Amino acid sequence: MTEPLHWFTSSYSSNGGACVEIAADLTASHGIVPVRDSKDPNGPVLSFPADAFSAFVVSVKAGEFGPA
C-alpha cells in the first residue's frame, strides 16, 4: 500500500498520553488492523488480524480486563 493510513484514537481516550491509534484502512482489503503508540507516530506499527482485534475490542467493552 502506498497511500498514507488514516490514524485515529478512540473517542473514549482521555488524552492522558497512554493511548494507541488504529487505522481501519486495511481492514476490508487485507483483513488487518494496524496499531501504533500515539506518542510515537513514527515508531513501530503492529498489525493484528481484523477478527482478533474485533474480539479484543468486544472483550474490553465487556470489562473482561478489569478496571483501568
Residue 2 has what pLDDT?
Answer: 62
Kindly tell me the burial class for residue 25, based on how many C-beta atoms sit within 10 Å of its own C-beta (0-12, 13-18, 19 or more): middle
Q: Is residue 38 part of a domain?
A: yes
Q: Is residue 12 part of a domain?
A: yes
Residue 13 has what pLDDT?
Answer: 72
Residue 21 has what pLDDT?
Answer: 93
Q: Is residue 33 part of a domain?
A: yes
As for how many domains the chain has, the answer is 1
The C-alpha atoms of residue 27 and residue 32 are separated, in whole angstroms, by: 5
Q: Is residue 68 part of a domain?
A: no
Q: What is the pLDDT along the chain (68 residues), one digit of tens a residue?
A: 567 899 998 777 766 667 889 999 999 899 999 999 988 989 999 999 999 999 999 998 899 988 76
Residue 68 has what pLDDT?
Answer: 63
**Phi, psi for residue 29 in degrees, rounded to 5:** -80, -30
CA distances 34 to 5, 23, 27, 64, Å, are 9, 6, 9, 23
pTM of the shown model: 0.79
Domain containing 45 equals 7-61
